[in-house]
C-alpha cells in the first residue's frame, strides 16, 4: 500500500461537510351505628336470649362486610380513575423501556406463572432459551434499535493563526465556530436525566451540544443548533434537546452526555428506548452485524456486514486504540458513537473509526461493548457539570506537556500530563505537586495529556477541592500518589 493511506476517526463533520446537511388508594374506616327500638328491652330467658344475640351478631357482621366491600371497591376504582385522568400512566417519572427484539423474554426475566410448579418453570426456561438464541432480519434489528440511537450536533470554537499579520494586518489568532455531526446510544437513565454513550472525539471541545431523537428532522435541528448556540452552551430548538457532557475518557475515546428528561417532549419520550447491551467477548469472526448512526449528518441510516476480525490495533491522530472489532459494515463520517449490533438487536460495539484509502474498502472499527461498559458506568455516575465562566474558572498553576510514545516506552512512564513547571504559590505548589510529576487522574477522571487536563479544568470553579493523582519517580520506578488540591484562580 502507498504512504498516503491513513487512519481517520469518524470525527464530527466540519462546516464544509455539513453545508447541506434535534396517594395510592386511600382507605378509611367506616363505622356502622346500631339504632335500638326503645330504651327498654324485654328480658328473655337466658338460652333464648343468647341464641337471638348470636343470630343478630351474625347478621350485623354479614351486613358490615357487604357494605365495607362495596364502599372500598368504589373508593379504589375512583382513585384509579382519577390517577389515570390527572397523572397519566406514562408520566416522565416512569422508566423508559429497554429495546428488545420481538419475541424476547422480559428484561428482568420474571414470569407471572412461577407458582404453577416445576413443569411450568421448565416450559419458561425452554422458551427463554429459545428467545435468547433467536435472531432477526436486518430490518427487525433496525426496527428494534432505531429508538435507541440519537444524532448529536456539536458546536465548538476553533483558533487558527492570523495569516495576515505577516502583511501588517492584525496579530495572534482568529476564532471561528465549527459544527460537527456524530451519533450516540441511549444506555441508561436516572431520576432526572437520560444518559447517552458516544465517542470522546464527538464531543471534545464542544461549547454547545444538542441531541436529536428518532423521527425528528436531523438536518434542520443541526442548522438550528448552530444558529442558536450561545456562550452558555444551551440551545432551544424545535427538533433537538440541549445536552451536557457528563464524563469523558479520552484514552478510550468514550464519553457520556446527559439530557434532562423534562426537556424531552412527551411524544418523543414515549418512543425512545434504552439499548440492550450484549457480550462482545463471545463474538466470532463471520457473525453478521448491523451498524446504525447519523451518517453524514442526515440522520439515522442502517448498514449491514460481518465481523471481519477481532482484537485489532490501530493508530490514529488521537493515539492508539487496541482490541477493536473490525467490520465491513459501512462506517461513514457521522457514524462515530453509533451502535454496532448483533442479530439479537444487542449492542456489541460503539463505532469509532475506519480505514481511509482509495485502495481500501470495508474496514470499519468499533470499541467492544464489554470493554466500554465498565467505563461508561463510571462516567454515568459522575456529576453533570457546565463549563465555568472564565472569571470563576479553576487554575491549577502548572505548565504541562504531552509525553511521546517513545518516552513512555523507553522509560516505562505512565500516560498523562507531564509537569515541566510549577508556579510559585499556585494551588498545585501549595498542595505538593512537583516538577517531573505526571498527572494521571483529576477528580477521578483519567488524564491522557496536556489538552485533556485543560479540558477537564474548564468545568471546575476556583475554590473547589479535588483529588489529583500523580505518578512520581522513586528509585527508577513511578509510584502513584494522591494529592488533595484546592483549586485557585488565574486572576
Active site residues: 201, 253, 336
Distance CA 324, CA 307 (A): 11
How many residues are present in the chain? 491
Distance CA 210, CA 234 (A): 8
User: Where does residue 313 rank: exposed (0-12), middle (13-18), buried (19+ CB within 10 A)?
Assistant: exposed
- What region does 461 belong to: left with phi over 0, alpha with psi -120 to 50, or beta? beta
Distance CA 44, CA 47 (A): 8
Amino acid at each position: 500500500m502507498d504512504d498516503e493511506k491513513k487512519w481517520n476517526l469518524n470525527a464530527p463533520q466540519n462546516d464544509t461537510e455539513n453545508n447541506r446537511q434535534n396517594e395510592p388508594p386511600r382507605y378509611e374506616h367506616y363505622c356502622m351505628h346500631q339504632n335500638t327500638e326503645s330504651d327498654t328491652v324485654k328480658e328473655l330467658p337466658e338460652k333464648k336470649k343468647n341464641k337471638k344475640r348470636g343470630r343478630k351478631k351474625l347478621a350485623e357482621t354479614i351486613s358490615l362486610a357487604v357494605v365495607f366491600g362495596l364502599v372500598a371497591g368504589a373508593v379504589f376504582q375512583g382513585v384509579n380513575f382519577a390517577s389515570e385522568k390527572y397523572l397519566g400512566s406514562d408520566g416522565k417519572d416512569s422508566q423508559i423501556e429497554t429495546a428488545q427484539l420481538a419475541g424476547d423474554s422480559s428484561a428482568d426475566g420474571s414470569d407471572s406463572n412461577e407458582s404453577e410448579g416445576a413443569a411450568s418453570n421448565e416450559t419458561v426456561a425452554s422458551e427463554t432459551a429459545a428467545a435468547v438464541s433467536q435472531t432477526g432480519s436486518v430490518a427487525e434489528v433496525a426496527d428494534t434499535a432505531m429508538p435507541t440511537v440519537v444524532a448529536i450536533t456539536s458546536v465548538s470554537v476553533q483558533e487558527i493563526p492570523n495569516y495576515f499579520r505577516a502583511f501588517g494586518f492584525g496579530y495572534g489568532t482568529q476564532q471561528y465556530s465549527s459544527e460537527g455531526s456524530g451519533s450516540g446510544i441511549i444506555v441508561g437513565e436516572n431520576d432526572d436525566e437520560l444518559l447517552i454513550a458516544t465517542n470522546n472525539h464527538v464531543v471534545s471541545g464542544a461549547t454547545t451540544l444538542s441531541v436529536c431523537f428518532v423521527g425528528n428532522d436531523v438536518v434542520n435541528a443541526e442548522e438550528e443548533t448552530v444558529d442558536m448556540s450561545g456562550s452558555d452552551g444551551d440551545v432551544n430548538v424545535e427538533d433537538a434537546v440541549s445536552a451536557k457532557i457528563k464524563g469523558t475518557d479520552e484514552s478510550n475515546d468514550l464519553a457520556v452526555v446527559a439530557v434532562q428528561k423534562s426537556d424531552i417532549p412527551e411524544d418523543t419520550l414515549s418512543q425512545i428506548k434504552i439499548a440492550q447491551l450484549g457480550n462482545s467477548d463471545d463474538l466470532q469472526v463471520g457473525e453478521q452485524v448491523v451498524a446504525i448512526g447519523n451518517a453524514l449528518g442526515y440522520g439515522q441510516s442502517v448498514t449491514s456486514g460481518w465481523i471481519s476480525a477481532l482484537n485489532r490495533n490501530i493508530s490514529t491522530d488521537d493515539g492508539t486504540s487496541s482490541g477493536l472489532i473490525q467490520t465491513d459494515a459501512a462506517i461513514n463520517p457521522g457514524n462515530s458513537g453509533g451502535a454496532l449490533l448483533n442479530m439479537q438487536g444487542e449492542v456489541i460495539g460503539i463505532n469509532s473509526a475506519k480505514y481511509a484509502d482509495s485502495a481500501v474498502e470495508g474496514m470499519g472499527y468499533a470499541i467492544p461493548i464489554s470493554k466500554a461498559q465498565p467505563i461508561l458506568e463510571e462516567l454515568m455516575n459522575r456529576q453533570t457539570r457546565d463549563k465555568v465562566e472564565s472569571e470563576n474558572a479553576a487554575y491549577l498553576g502548572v505548565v504541562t506537556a504531552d509525553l511521546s510514545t517513545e518516552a513512555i516506552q523507553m522509560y516505562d512512564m505512565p500516560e498523562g500530563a507531564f509537569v515541566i513547571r510549577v508556579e510559585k504559590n499556585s494551588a498545585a505548589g501549595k498542595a505538593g505537586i512537583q516538577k517531573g510529576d505526571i498527572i494521571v487522574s483529576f477528580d477521578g477522571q483519567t488524564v491522557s495529556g496536556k489538552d485533556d487536563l485543560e479540558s477537564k479544568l474548564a468545568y471546575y470553579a476556583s475554590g473547589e477541592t479535588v483529588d489529583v493523582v500523580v505518578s512520581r519517580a522513586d528509585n527508577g520506578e513511578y509510584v502513584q500518589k494522591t494529592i488533595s488540591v484546592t483549586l485557585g484562580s488565574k486572576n
